[in-house]
Amino acid sequence: MVETDSFGGARLALADNHLEDRAYELNYKAARVAREAADRFSTGARPRFVAGSMGPTPKDISTLHSATFEQFRAGYFDQAKALVEGGADFLAIETCFDTSALKAGLIAVDQVRRNLGVAIPVLASVTIMDNGTMFGGQAIDALYASIENHDLLAIGMNCGTGPDLMTDHVRTLHEMSSHRVSCYPNAGIPVEGVFPETPESLSAQLERFLERGWLNIVGGCCGTTPAHIRAIAQVAQGKRPRQTPGGRIARISRASS
């Protein structure tokens, strides 16, 4: 999978540089660039897919109250529509630290599905800080209970930390999720701007997740290089993907005051 260069492409993020009126254009072109690259390297044996990247924006709903649910929904709708029409195979709402904003994104994708009349797979990927919760204090089990009703390609984690601090959270998702599970961590937590994990050390930690059958999608986020991704791909080769359990369990996540 190759991601579009559109992480900061939502209107709320582009507004910081007075580019919000170009949101559709910039996201569409980002998808076209990624689509051309994926098609150039795709083969029948090893197809390449384009993930339309939708980042969290500098705003949030639940803690700083710097934007509204409707602002997020409208902005994500424009971004998602442009990425899909530009050629993205699926959408990745990633590095999410605010559950309400993530919900707004998932609702926006549902609206794009209806408007365009096409199936749009969506990956929901959140960031758990080194204190064990999202920025607003929600743990991974509560987060999953909040969004499991949505039609998801996968639910997972990215950014924030390396895989060492993701272990308990990935295990929890594996045990709870009726969707596929993804994980693409940083190359560790940077020390004075330097990411400590080498391709060998990062891939070895992710291999533990793969051997335990916890993951369906694996990759790398901040601090990872082509060498890191190559090493991850090598350890993933031949590993059996996580088996998605059947059935559903009713869960409730209560917001704290």
Query: In this structure, are residues 181 and 216 in contact, taking their beta carbons and an 8 Å threshold?
Result: yes
CB atoms within 10 A of CB 194: 9
**In angstroms, rounded to a whole number, what is the distance separating the alpha carbons of residues 149 and 250?**
10
Mean pLDDT of the chain: 95
48 within 8 A of 89, measured Cβ to Cβ: no
Q: Which of 190-194, 215-219, 230-234 has the lowest mean pLDDT?
A: 190-194
Local confidence band at 256 (pLDDT 50, 70, 90 cut-offs)? very low
pLDDT-derived band at 95, boundaries 50, 70, 90:
very high
Average pLDDT over residues 208-216: 98
Asked whether residue 255 carries a pLDDT value surpassing 60, the answer given is: no
- pLDDT band of residue 63 (cuts 50, 70, 90) is confident
Q: Which CATH number fits domain 2-236: 3.40.50.620, 1.10.3720.10, 3.40.50.880, 3.20.20.330?
A: 3.20.20.330
What single DSSP character describes residue 204? H
What does the domain layout of the chain look like in residue ranges? Answer: 2-236
Alpha helix positions (H), 21-95: 23-41, 69-86
- Range with lowest mean pLDDT among 32-46, 87-101, 219-233, 237-251: 237-251
User: Tell me, what DSSP letter sits at residue 19?
Assistant: -
Q: Once rounded to an integer, what is the mean pLDDT over residues 141-163?
A: 96
Identify the pLDDT of residue 82. Answer: 98
C-alpha of 160 from chain center: 12
With CA atoms as reference, report the closest residue to 79 among 13, 34, 16.
Answer: 13
pTM: 0.94
